[in-house]
């Protein structure tokens, strides 16, 4: 898949970065050469980044966020704990801030996420629910949030991380109380609230063909056959060098396309065991390029989103001690070999 030229480019870029040459992130890069998003648009794709509210006070960061990308995903501001901190009391201020920022830059927003087992408010997790009670709570939450953002987001991660690694259903409060039908219900309720928005299921470790992605394939096939409004599968693509590259990614994207579904790489980062070395940075660069080329090769892979674009605000070090350096910009907002590999994969120079 990769060309020798790109491997050499990644290695050379790694050496340049290590030497401190050619690594600046010019805040006005879009005025000098096509941005990643402009390059992606030539292929009919978007190229985006997640962001989060606390970092929006960082001027150089937000300048690059607003110039390099054409799509934004709120990292936390639309999750349940933030949007319904008390039962029936909704607070969309964090999500609204990011939507307003994106609209000012003519960027589109991916809604993330309506139903997830994590980051739930205490009032939801701290008691037992009957099925009718929880069903009513879930419907109200989904429809209130989707209606609030109707016309402001282009897609929703409706259900996030519904399966275990072996392809069995995750034992979330929703699954345990409502059974697997909660997924179809969530999709139907979201569609009722905004018939135009694209509805996705989203998960990690489903990039390659395997038990977990097979479970999503079976579920998607069943949902489509039943007429449930499902439009796409989000493959998070949180990768780690030490675990190997998902070589069946392109085949996996294609099989979901054959079901009539879009796909997207929704939360991309590629972490490594620290310290970062020239060799690891070059390998990381190849992986970023490989992911991008796989998406470009499959017509219904609609776009790529980094899970924030800079190591400065990466979630990785807090969750995986001793790991990091996962993103195409470093903590000083300098471009890393991965950035140059992305440009080349998208047809830039």
Told to judge if 161 belongs to the known catalytic residues of this protein, a careful annotator would answer yes
CA-based radius of gyration for the chain? 20
Distance CA 253, CA 134 (A): 34
Q: Do residues 69 and 107 touch, judged by C-beta distance below 8 A?
A: yes
Catalytic residue among 161, 207, 286, 344: 161
User: How far is CA 4 from its chain centroid?
Assistant: 29
Both structure tokens of 87 = 């039962």
Contact indicator for 294, 333 with CB cutoff of 8 Å: no
Active-site annotation holder among 267, 286, 293, 344:
267
Tell me the C-alpha distance between 184 and 333, whole Å: 41
Residue 250 designated active-site: no
What distances in angstroms separate CA 95 from CA 5, 59, 199, one per listed residue? 42, 19, 18
Measured between alpha carbons, how far is 79 from 328 in angstroms, rounded to an integer? 26
- Conformational region of residue 299, where left means phi above 0, alpha means psi within -120 to 50, and beta covers everything else: alpha
Active site residues: 161, 267
């Amino acid at each position: 898949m990769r060309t020798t030229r790109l491997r050499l480019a990644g290695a050379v870029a790694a050496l340049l970065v290590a030497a401190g040459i050619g690594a600046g992130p010019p805040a006005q890069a879009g005025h000098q050469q096509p941005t990643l998003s402009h390059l992606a648009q030539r292929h009919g794709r978007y190229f985006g980044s997640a962001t989060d509210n606390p970092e929006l006070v960082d001027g150089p960061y937000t300048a690059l966020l607003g110039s390099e990308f054409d799509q934004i995903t709120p990292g936390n501001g639309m999750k349940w704990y933030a949007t319904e901190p008390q039962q029936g009391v909704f607070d969309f201020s964090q999500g609204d801030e990011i939507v307003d920022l994106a609209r000012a830059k003519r960027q589109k927003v991916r809604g993330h996420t309506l139903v997830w087992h994590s980051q739930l408010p205490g009032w939801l997790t701290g008691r037992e629910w009957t099925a009718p009670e929880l069903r009513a709570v879930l419907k109200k939450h989904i429809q209130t949030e989707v209606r609030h953002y109707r016309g402001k987001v282009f897609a929703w991660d409706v259900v996030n991380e519904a399966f275990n690694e072996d392809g069995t259903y995750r034992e979330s409060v929703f699954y345990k109380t409502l059974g697997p039908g909660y997924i179809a219900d969530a999709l139907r309720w979201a569609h009722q609230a905004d018939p135009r928005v694209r509805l996705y299921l989203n998960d990690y470790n489903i990039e390659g063909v395997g038990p977990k992605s097979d479970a999503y394939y079976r579920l998607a096939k069943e949902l489509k056959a039943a007429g449930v409004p499902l439009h796409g599968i989000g493959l998070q693509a949180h990768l780690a060098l030490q675990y190997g590259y998902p070589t069946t990614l392109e085949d996996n994207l294609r099989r979901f396309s054959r079901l009539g579904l879009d796909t997207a790489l929704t939360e991309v980062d590629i972490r490594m065991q620290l310290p970062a070395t020239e060799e690891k940075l070059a390998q990381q660069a190849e992986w970023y390029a490989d992911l991008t080329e796989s998406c470009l090769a499959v017509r219904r892979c609609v776009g790529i989103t980094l899970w924030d674009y800079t190591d400065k605000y990466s979630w990785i070090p807090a969750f995986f001690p001793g790991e990091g350096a996962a993103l195409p910009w470093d903590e000083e907002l300098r471009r890393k070999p991965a950035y140059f590999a992305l440009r080349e994969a998208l047809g830039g120079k």
